[in-house]
Chains A and B, each alone.
Chain A
Amino acid sequence: MGRKLDPTTYVKKGPGRKSRKQKGAETELAKFLTDEDTAPKRLSSRSRKRAGKRAQVTKKPKESIEKEEPKKGFTDENSEWLKPAKRKREVGQSDNEDDSDSQWEQEEDEGQEGGENNKGKKLLIEGDGDDDDLVDDYGALEDSSEGEGEVDGDGEELLPIERAARKQKKLQEAMGQESDDDDEDDDKRKSGDEDMDEDDTVQANLDEMDKFILPGAEEIAKEGVLLVDLQTIHQRIKDNVDVLSHFATKREEGKERTEYLSLLKKDLSTYYSYNNFLIDKLLDIFPVSELIDFLEANEIQRPVTIRTNTLKTRRRDLAQALINRGVNLDPLGKWSKVGLVIFDSSVPIGATPEYLAGHYMLQGASSFLPVMALSPQEGETVLDMSSAPGGKTTYMAQLMRNTGVIVANDASADRLKSVVGNIHRLGVTNSMICNYDGRQFPKVMGGFDRVLLDAPCSGTGVISKDPAVKTSKDESDIQRLAHLQKELILAAIDSVNAESPSGGYLVYCTCSIMVEENEWVVDYALKKRNVKLVQTGLDFGKEGFTRFKERRFHPSLKLSRRFYPHSHNMDGFFVAKLKKFSNTVPTTAVEKDGEEETKPSEAVEVTANSSDEDGPSKAGSKNKSKKQKPVPGKPAMSQKATANGKPAKSIGKKTTNPSTLKKSEKPTGQKKAKIAKMDGGTVKVDGELKKSNTVKTEGETTKELKEGSRFEKKGDKQRKSPTQSKKRMGKNKFNKLKKLLKKEEVGQ
């Protein structure tokens, strides 16, 4: 007999310790497993119930015919009234239910003895009964409810607490579901309400308009006291603008446009923090919808721009160098070859080595425009009357390639330091920096080829840079500035040499959008001096106004250009280019001083520009000669007229022409004689003629630019002045003259 021991099958036998040890897992489990596989063993009631439940889970989808035989088939005496626990919960929770219920049952079992079974069973039943109301039972359970009705009555008495607890459990679940439903319903309701509200608000707006206006003073007073929410004001502004844009359709009955406007003004000044004066002015300039854009644009900064200094580098190279330093940039636009716009930068733009080496200058995009309009040429003499901080001056110098002369002037000595710094940094060598009041300029130096005047202004175009302007500007400020600007522009015009071969241009610009500082000043200059507006050469920008409120400007004002922050994304600006066509100053009879001033200015021009001596000096000499020699005065007059060129006659004096024509066509008596004299006919009556001539020359000298007709007029008046002795010719003399004239006519 060999060893037949197989460790897997070997079982230790005997009373010893080792034999009592547990056998392998397999053997142990085999017992359990076989138990289940066996035919239905006789189960206890509880276990029967459990089995029933288990079976129910599998049999639910099937018809209820089978009826969970194990459940129903209670073999004990309680089978009539004893029903198996229903499936109360969903499939997933069945096991939990089972467990919890079973635990309940177990506890019950442990706690009580006598009516234990009954209790437990009733518990289950009652729970089932209650569940019918709350939860959607499955088909199988409903059938069993019939039997339960009987049981319920009994059950209630027995275990109210347990029943209540179970009820609550189920209620909570059901509530959970319901609450979700409720929330959804609420949301729907809310959204529905919101839609309703929105619809209502659209209509309510109009109603609200009533609310704004009707209580009027009361509400406004209240608002003044309380802090009003900016959001509501903003909404109100939008609504108001909407109404005003479609006034005919959206207005309230009985409400005037002015009422809406006054409310809008108040709201705008509150929301954007402007003073009332400025809002009024802006409302005059812009239509209401554009005004909102303008105000919004003033709240944000314009992009940072730089100008390449072409004296030291090229835009391409500079862009490359800056990109290497970590700057994000782009060319400024098609209209500029030297501009770059900076989006963001990791280094401070005002302190890079390229900046220090003078390769570029920080300059606003709008400041490029006047210099582009002026376009100074190489070798010219240029004046910049308000040059600080020097951006435009240096731009002019780079356009002129450091040739010619630039005189950079500024009235403020402090700000001139920045001009000096910038000029040296950017390598400008052809400049002179001086510290005069601009109004003195023609006396200091004149005869410039081109002049740039960036006049001191209210700064309403650069509100984004300096928000203090919103509240600090007043009617008196604007008027004072306008007065100063008018004086400056006249001084600038007087400093330009009209006879300059390549120039004779003046550019007037401001960083303001007010009509009082822009078009009005230029119009004033057009009236007072021999200048005319020409194309700026800037192909974008809005045209200047030719009329504004009650004022009417010269039609050529539409050649000037306006720029706005909201439409061009640069600071608000105004540029006008003027050409001076004559160095003489038109003066009225009162202003004899004006004429005297022109003489010294002309003298200065002569010394300054040797090439341009002919025009001004001629005029000067002719002026003087007129007083001495009456006769050559006339040809001088005619020459002068031609020197001035046709524009002198054409502008502004057309009204006199027809009258002169009339006069010449219908000479009557004395007038005819005078006309004859004027035409250079033979002079018979010496004494009077001499007098008249002297009188005429005086008239001529005082009114150089007037045409022949005017002289005739003045001559007549002069003749009629009481200081003259003999006004009228004798009869005989007159007749003689008549005959002479007839002879001449015949002869001609």
Chain B
Amino acid sequence: MCDTFLLSVHSIGENIKHLVDRPDGTYCFRLHNDRVYYISETILKLATNISRGKLVSVGTCFGKFTKTIKFRLHITALDFLAPYAKFKVWVKPGQEQSFLYGNHVLKSGLGRITENTNQYQGVVVYSMADVPLGFGVAAKSTQECRRVDPMSIVVFHQADIGEFIRSEDTLT
């Protein structure tokens, strides 16, 4: 389980260490009801007071394990993963709304992309104002992106902040 979890956080790479050892205390990941939460240890101690059935959420939910033990990353992890992302994609203002509705990013909406992005690499999607919008998977490598026609998909949509409104129920 741990392996799949770490693998799915592939967009960060080795920077995961930064998440665990932070200057303001050690943080850890905890599993509760099939969901992975990222919390500091002080909160963890206090959370033991609350019975399992009644505890709804602790700290930040990073994602959940599906019934087939695959890890699905949630948009709620965006704030933490975004600063450590190695590969980023910037979307043009016109295409912002489209991505926020859950669509994939087309070549016509692609503003910038980090160099040396491999195909099927996990990326973090930003707006041109450097506001993180969500996660994705690169459909083409950077070189291919330059050559390809404007209507083809360059980033597959995985999670976006529009989900806070669209799928509020599934966050818990």
Contact = CB atoms under 8 A, between A and B. Distances in A.
Tell me, yes or no, whether A binds B.
Answer: yes
A553 interface: no
Contact of B57 (A357, A420, A425): A420
Interface in A413-460: 413, 416-421, 423-425, 427, 429-436, 444-445
Contacts of B132: 357
A356 B162 contact: yes
Nearest to B61: A424
Contact of B169 (A353, A381, A417, A429): A417
B50 A434 contact: yes
B120 interface: no
Contacts of B61: 420, 424
Contact of A420 (B100, B127, B133, B171): B171
Interface string A241-282: 000000000000000000000000000000000000000000
B79 interface: yes
A416 B172 contact: yes
B11 interface: no
Nearest to A428: B60
Query: Which of B24, B57, B60, B100 has most A Cβ within 10 Å?
Result: B57
Contacts of A419: 56
Contacts of A430: 40, 43, 59
B38 to A, nearest CB: 8
A636 interface: no
Given A436-B54, A445-B49, A445-B50, A357 B161 contact: yes
B43 A353 contact: no
B168 A434 contact: no
On chain A, which size bracket covers the interface? 20 to 34
B27 to A, nearest CB: 9
A435 B131 CA distance: 33
> Secondary structure at chain B's binding surface: helix, strand, loop or mixed?
mixed
B162 A417 contact: no
A352 to B, nearest CB: 10
Contact of B164 (A321, A356, A433): A356
A444 B172 contact: no
Interface in A389-416: 403, 405, 407, 413, 416
B66 to A, nearest CB: 19
Contacts of B172: 416-417, 420-421
A405 B42 contact: yes
A285 to B, nearest CB: 38
Interface string B107-141: 00000000000000000000101011100000000
B76 interface: yes
Interface in B28-65: 38-40, 42-43, 46-47, 49-51, 54-61
Nearest to A427: B79
B55 A434 contact: yes
B155 to A, nearest CB: 17
A350 interface: yes
A351 interface: yes
Contacts of A432: 43, 46-47, 50, 55, 57-59
B165 interface: yes
A23 to B, nearest CB: 83
Given A405-B43, A424-B76, A432-B46, A356 B100 contact: yes
A433 B55 contact: yes
Contacts of B24: 403
Contact of B56 (A350, A354, A358, A413): A413
Nearest to A418: B168
B160 to A, nearest CB: 8
A433 B58 contact: yes
A353 B96 contact: yes
B50 A444 contact: yes
B60 A353 contact: no
Query: Which of B56, B61, B127 has most A Cβ within 10 Å?
Result: B56
A434 B56 contact: yes
Contacts of A429: 38-40, 59-60
B164 A421 contact: yes
A356 B43 contact: no
A343 B105 CA distance: 34
A613 B32 CA distance: 32
B58 to A, nearest CB: 5
A413 B49 CA distance: 19
Contacts of A381: 46
Query: Which of A321, A407, A432 has most B Cβ within 10 Å?
Result: A432
A439 to B, nearest CB: 14
Contacts of A350: 165
A351 B161 CA distance: 10
Contacts of A435: 54-56
B46 A445 contact: yes
B56 A444 contact: no
Given A356-B161, A432-B55, A445-B46, A424 B131 contact: no
Interface string A191-203: 0000000000000
B131 A357 contact: yes
Contacts of B46: 381, 405, 407, 432, 445, 608
Interface in B144-168: 161-162, 164-165, 168
A413 B55 CA distance: 10
Nearest to A440: B54
Contact of A351 (B55, B129, B165): B165
B149 to A, nearest CB: 28
Interface string A719-739: 000000000000000000000
A687 to B, nearest CB: 50
A422 to B, nearest CB: 9
B103 to A, nearest CB: 15
Given A418-B168, A432-B46, A424 B60 contact: yes
A444 B49 contact: yes
Contacts of B59: 429-432
A445 B46 CA distance: 9
Nearest to A446: B49
B100 A423 contact: no
Contacts of B39: 429
A381 B43 CA distance: 10
B56 A420 contact: yes
Contacts of A445: 46, 49-50
Nearest to A443: B49
Interface string A336-363: 0000000000000011011011100000
Contacts of A357: 131-133, 161
Nearest to B75: A424
Given A420-B56, A432-B55, A353 B171 contact: no
B125 to A, nearest CB: 12
Contacts of A413: 56
Contacts of B51: 444
Contacts of A436: 50, 54
The 6 closest A-B pairs by CB, nearest first: A424-B76, A356-B161, A433-B57, A433-B56, A420-B172, A445-B49
Given A405-B42, A432-B57, A435-B54, 18 more contacts: A353-B131, A354-B131, A357-B133, A407-B46, A407-B50, A417-B169, A418-B168, A419-B56, A424-B60, A424-B76, A424-B171, A429-B59, A432-B55, A432-B58, A433-B56, A436-B50, A444-B51, A608-B46
11 contacts: A350-B165, A353-B161, A356-B162, A381-B46, A405-B42, A424-B76, A424-B164, A424-B171, A429-B60, A432-B59, A444-B51
Interface of B: 24, 38-40, 42-43, 46-47, 49-51, 54-61, 76, 79, 96-97, 100, 127, 129, 131-133, 161-162, 164-165, 168-169, 171-172
